[in-house]
């Protein structure tokens, strides 16, 4: 974050470009941070032997899904519900996410 500086210039287009680049850099850092958090949680699930079990429904997460997204806390059905914004599914993962923060 320290490397992202706000550049000031008299040229409005140039300043808009700097702002856009800064926002993209922040979005990239946010994605990286979220990915690290998900990986840390997956490592914790390995340690507590709950890896491969959906944190919402308790069903086994299929091996093909784990091969594609090894850090996933959800089976495909619950992930689809979470993507739709299902509060129940999102709340089931929330305590785990808060523990990692």
The answer, yes or no, to whether residue 25 has pLDDT greater than 90, is no
Q: Which residue has the higher pLDDT, 65 or 95?
A: 65
Q: Which residue has the higher pLDDT, 43 or 94?
A: 43
The answer, yes or no, to whether residue 82 has pLDDT greater than 80, is yes
Q: Which CATH code fits 12-100?
A: 1.20.120.910
Residue 88: per-residue pLDDT = 83
Q: Concatenate the DSSP letters of all residues of 27-73 into one string.
A: HHHHHHHHHHHHHHHHHHHHHTT-TTB-TTT-PBPPHHHHHH-TT--
Q: Where are the domains of the chain?
A: 12-100
Question: Which residues 6+ apart lie within 8 Å of 41 measured at CB?
Answer: 71, 73, 96, 97, 99, 100
Lowest mean pLDDT among 9-13, 47-51, 87-91, 97-101: 97-101
Output the CA angle 64-66-68, nearest 5 degrees. 70
Structure letter (DSSP) for residue 10: S
């Amino acid at each position: 974050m320290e490397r992202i500086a706000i550049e000031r210039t008299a040229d409005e287009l140039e300043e808009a470009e700097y702002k856009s680049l800064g926002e993209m850099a922040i979005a990239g850092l946010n994605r990286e941070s979220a990915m690290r958090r998900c990986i840390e949680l997956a490592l914790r699930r390995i340690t507590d032997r709950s890896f491969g079990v959906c944190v919402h429904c308790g069903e086994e997460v299929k091996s093909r899904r784990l091969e594609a997204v090894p850090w996933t806390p959800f089976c495909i059905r619950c992930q689809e519900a979470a993507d739709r914004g299902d509060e129940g599914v999102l709340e089931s993962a929330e305590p785990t996410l808060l523990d990692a923060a």
